Amino acid sequence: MIATPWATNPFFVNLDQIFVLLRNWLVGFLPAALRPAAGVLLGVIAIVCVFPGLFALTTVFERKGLGRIQNRIGPNRVGPYGLLQPVADGIKSLTKEDIVPLRANAVVHFLAPLVLVVTVFMGFAVLPMGRNMVLVDMDAGLLFFFAMGAATELSVFMAGWSSRNKYSLLGAMRAVAQMISYEVVLLLSSVAVVMITGSLSLPKIVAAQNTYTGVFPHWYIFTPWGLAGFLMYAIAATAETNRSPFDLPEGESELVAGYHTEYSGFKFALFFLGEYLAMFSISGLGTTLFLGGWSAPFSFLTWVPSWIWFFGKVMMSIFVFIWMRGTLPRLRQDQLMNFAWKFVLPFTLLNLLVTALWRFMGEGWARWVVCSVILIAAYVVMGRLEMRSEHFGRRRYRYAE
Amino acid sequence: MRTLSPIFYLLAALTLAGGLATVLLKQLVHCALAVTVAFAGLALLFLQLDAQFAGFAQILVYIGAVAILIVFAILLTRGSDLPKDGVFSRSWPLGLVIAAGVFAVLGWAVLASVGAVPQQNTVPAVTVHDIGDALVGRYVLPLEIVALLLTAATIGAVIVAMHEKERPR
Amino acid sequence: MLGDGILKGMAETARNFFGSFVSAERLTTVEYPEQRIPTAENARVFPFLVYDGADWEAGMRCVACQICEKECPPKCIYIEKSADKKPDYVGKQQFYPARFDIDVSVCMSCQICVEVCPFEAIKMDTEFELATEDRFGGLLFDRKELSRSNEYYHSIHPTEATEVDARLAEEKAKVEAKAKAAAEAAAAKTAAAASPAPPAEGGS
């Protein structure tokens, strides 16, 4: 590893650990019995402040980024370059009237956005955001994250059903079907990482990627199975968070607003917040699993604080999400489901096999060649199978003929 | 009699409340959500016993999949309308007797097994690694049988769904 | 291969994104009201009355013939003829409008009043930022608010205005030539009446 001499300089080490040191200093004012709880509480407060702040910035950057992609300027009136737009949006959503339909199920209608936001915030507890900066180091951290993701689907269904609106219900059913299908893919592509690391604990997964040969890091994305896994994970992540091109459940031209049609004011803002926070947390997990978490991309850059790398990588992922949104048209529900079950899932299963092959072939260039060849061949063959012309011929109807 | 920790009582109360709500509520989807609360209570009980894998798997599978399945089944079979002659059946005393009998059997089994497990002061730490080892080591045959069962179920589901396409009009 | 379409699309959007910072072709937004696109020459919004010279009352071309009032489809023009007459651009005595009101909340910018006016008196303006808080009175323009000079007409519709000016000048020249010839004929007649009849001098 070619490290720079100043990486071990106390200034950079302290800068890297600045939040940990800050927390320890603050907690030191309390008696020893309360310290662990206070430490965790401070971490929770930090997460609750940082990620909604990032959410606010992301809404502005999304609108401006999409605008630039679409040959126009985004919002630029509120604040310099429109950066205070989220403040205006926040005030708007807080002052809007909260309308609950008369025949809607009031309790479930109220609980749905709450459940969504709570479970999404819980997912942040296991992400290692820097060296020694994970809120709860659980042995089965990855499983916890996916458990929280599964609970998110329930809130989507609750929102759609409680509105007593057939469009909301349809949107909710579609959203849940989509989320379940792609959740399988998400889990399987992460299992490949777990297989190689040998642990479900996220800090250990990052530590396994934090080694360097020469200048280059051992991130999993730089291996054939890691790249394939990352691509499948990215597709599944886009579908899980209902982002374009998989945003049929909330497409305005399809189903009004899908499962959050009947929500206005602050509850709608909570759904919006929940969606973007889910995007952050899934990007965070993808960064941890495949992009090396908080480790630096080159060994001579380890002096830069680890949390800068983590948040930088997460923001790059968000930028790619926005880029995809600006590029691709929306997929139809059956195209979406076909894609999941007929292409992505088989490819992910094959990736699992290839990962096992990688592990048991031992070090050397042979495993690189074999794994790459298998994956590329599978991709091309399955792609050809999907793109046959019979898929694009005249449309055949099941009931109308 | 040892006193259990207050958290256990809380979680037990939550689970029981969820279970009671499941059978007492009138709206079917409310019952489904209440059973989800019961599942969550169970998962938290597992976590309280330091069984991390079991707890999170409970959330992932039961709340993430089974509850959704129940809800889909209710919606697709239009079960959300209230049945005409009330929610509770006429023969509830018989049901009560049967439930008491099952509870007695379960209670006897649990209490009898307390003596069979050796008393340990420390909780044995079971990591996911150990569970994995056991699954492909000692319990590989049940694992394969369950996999076969699931495959058969999936194929059956596909065939049942496909059958509708080829029905003559 | 599967996915190459997506990559091509992403390349195009990336080109758009980065290009929008450097080239105006990729960023076509005009930030109104700080920046404005100049209106086309034949744009039209609401009518105005043309006057020649400096004094709007004396130079007004409108002779209150009321043709535009009768032809206007939504009947948004209201004209009251004057009692006396004033000389027009060729010197002939004409009526003038004592009242010429246009209700621009009714006017549909069809330009029929312009097309039928025989005196080139009413033309279409291009001013569109006319929002006012007074819904009724603020949108009823009287003859003073409607009057604009011929120089203004040149500035907004140069080709048309030059053409109109040429036509009016031609008319004026014709009238003047006619008047001159009539004056010469009259002079010749008086000369012929004063002295014994010489042969006709190629009269007109």
**Pairwise CB contact (< 8 Å): A387 & C13:** no
Residue type at position A347: F
Determine the pLDDT at residue A387: 66
- A355 inside domain: no
Could you tell me if C112 and C102 are in contact, meaning their C-beta atoms sit under 8 angstroms apart?
A: no
C-alpha to C-alpha distances, A385 to A379, A382, C6, nearest whole angstrom: 10, 5, 18
Q: Of the given ranges (A57-61, A166-170, B44-48, C148-152), which has the lowest mean pLDDT?
A: A166-170
Residue type at position B8: F
| Average pLDDT rounded to a whole number, residues C177-195 | 85
Q: Is B60 on the interface with A (CB under 8 A)?
A: yes
Mutate one of A126, A153, A190 to test the B interface: name it (highest B CB count within 10 A).
A153
Tell me how far apart the alpha carbons of residues A45 and A59 are, in angstroms, rounded to a whole number: 22
C-alpha to C-alpha distances, A297 to A36, A214, A287, nearest whole angstrom: 33, 12, 12
- A340 inside domain: no
Per residue in A91-102, pLDDT tens?
Answer: 998 898 888 888
Tell me how far apart the alpha carbons of residues B60 and A148 are, in angstroms, rounded to a whole number: 8
Torsion of CA C34, C37, C39, C45, to 10 degrees: -50
Per residue in C104-139, pLDDT tens?
Answer: 999 999 999 999 999 889 999 998 888 899 888 889
User: Could you list the residue range(s) of the whole structural domain that residue A138 is in?
Assistant: 5-331
Closest C-alpha to A124, from A268, A289, A279, A229 = A279
Task: Kindly list the residues from chain B whose CB atom is less than 8 angstroms away from the CB atom of residue A147.
Answer: 43, 56-57, 59-60, 63-64
Percent of chain A exceeding pLDDT 70 equals 95
Per residue in B68-96, pLDDT tens?
Answer: 888 888 877 765 566 656 667 788 889 89
- A296 inside domain: yes
Give the mean pLDDT of chain B. 84
Determine the pLDDT at residue A393: 66
User: What's the CATH number of domain B1-82, 2.60.40.1730, 3.60.150.10, 1.20.120.1200, 3.30.70.260?
Assistant: 1.20.120.1200
| Average pLDDT rounded to a whole number, residues B96-115 | 90
Determine the pLDDT at residue A336: 86
Q: Which of the two residues, C177 and A252, has the higher pLDDT score?
A: C177
Number of domains comprising chain A: 1
- A98 inside domain: yes
- A373 inside domain: no
Residue type at position B133: D
**How near does any CA of chain A get to the CA of B52, in Å?**
7
Reduce the DSSP state of residue C159 to 3 states and report it: helix
Determine the pLDDT at residue B165: 59
The residue behind tokens 């819904």 is C135
Task: Kindly list the residues from chain C whose CB atom is less than 8 angstroms away from the CB atom of residue A68.
Answer: 16-17, 20-21, 27
State yes or no: ipTM above 0.90.
no
Q: Is A146 on the interface with B (CB under 8 A)?
A: yes
Closest C-alpha to A119, from A258, A262, A240 = A240
Tell me how far apart the alpha carbons of residues A131 and A293 are, in angstroms, rounded to a whole number: 10
Q: How many CA atoms within 13 Å lie on the side-chain side of B93?
A: 0
CA closest to C10 among chain A residues: A327
Evaluate the omega torsion of the peptide bond into residue C33 and state whether it is cis, within 30 degrees of 0: yes
Per residue in A247-273, pLDDT tens?
Answer: 877 765 555 667 777 788 888 899 889
Closest C-alpha to A186, from A227, A234, A225 = A234
Per residue in C37-55, pLDDT tens?
Answer: 888 888 999 999 999 888 8
Q: What residues contact residue A13 under an 8 Å CB cut-off, 6+ apart? A: none
Domain residue spans of chain B:
1-82, 126-162
Pairing state between β C47-51 and C147-149:
parallel
| Average pLDDT rounded to a whole number, residues A301-312 | 90
| Average pLDDT rounded to a whole number, residues C61-87 | 91
**How near does any CA of chain A get to the CA of C37, in Å?**
16
Per residue in A17-34, pLDDT tens?
Answer: 888 888 888 888 888 888
